[in-house]
Amino acid sequence: MTRNMGCLVAAVWAVGCGGSSSSPKGAATTTATDFAGVYSATYSGTYVVTSPPGQPGGNSTSSATMTITDLASNEIQVDWQVPPNPPSGRADFDLTGDTGTTTGTGGMCFTGKLANGDTQTNCCTMCSITFTSADTFVQPNAGTFTGTTALGVAYSGTYSGTWTGAKP
């Protein structure tokens, strides 16, 4: 059973992926409001199928619309939609300068249907976001996934990759 299990929303965040504490576009101070907006994002990563054994892993790419909302002082919420699914997930981040770490609220698992007909749930286990300017971010991530093929076969594994987003 050769699988193309492109992780639907392998898009979540990887702890420890550094970022500078500099402010975007030369601003004196950075707040969550500086990053609010709608971003076009692309994902590139890898995955390993751990069950059933003997299945190949591979590379995964995707695109999404990610909406970042200012929640409070130095806290943002990220919602994304990976077509053709409805909005697929949400995560909240505390910001220090231009780098955010998850707050543990706002959900960390994301479910959707893959292009091949599989239904998959990805759960981020290492999550962060770094803004490279007020209009761009990188969001490395790693986690686990479980799913069921269109034929009803269960599978699971791990993933890692990076979302890169920019305001259009």
Across 11-21, average pLDDT:
29
Select from 55, 49, 56 the least CA-distant residue to 158: 49
Neighbours of 168 (CB within 10 A): 8
User: What domains sit in the chain, N to C, each tagged with a CATH number?
Assistant: 31-166 (2.40.128)
Owner of token pair 């299990």: 5
pLDDT tens-digit series, residues 44-82: 999 999 999 999 999 999 999 999 999 977 899 999 898
Measure the N-to-C terminal CA separation of the chain; round to a whole number of Å. 39
Question: In angstroms, rounded to a whole number, what is the distance separating the alpha carbons of residues 27 and 18?
Answer: 20
* Model confidence at 164: pLDDT above 90: yes
Tell if the pTM clears 0.75, that is, is over it: yes
Q: At 43, which helix (H) or strand (E)?
A: strand 37-51
Select from 159, 165, 167, 162 the least CA-distant residue to 3: 159
Q: Which two tokens stand for residue 153?
A: 């076969």
Q: Is 26 left (phi over 0), alpha (psi -120 to 50) or beta?
A: left
pLDDT of 24 reads 42
In this predicted structure, which of 16-25, 104-113, 117-126 has the lowest mean pLDDT?
16-25
pLDDT of 28 reads 45
Counting every residue, how long is the chain?
168
DSSP string, 111-124: EEE-TTS-EEEEEE
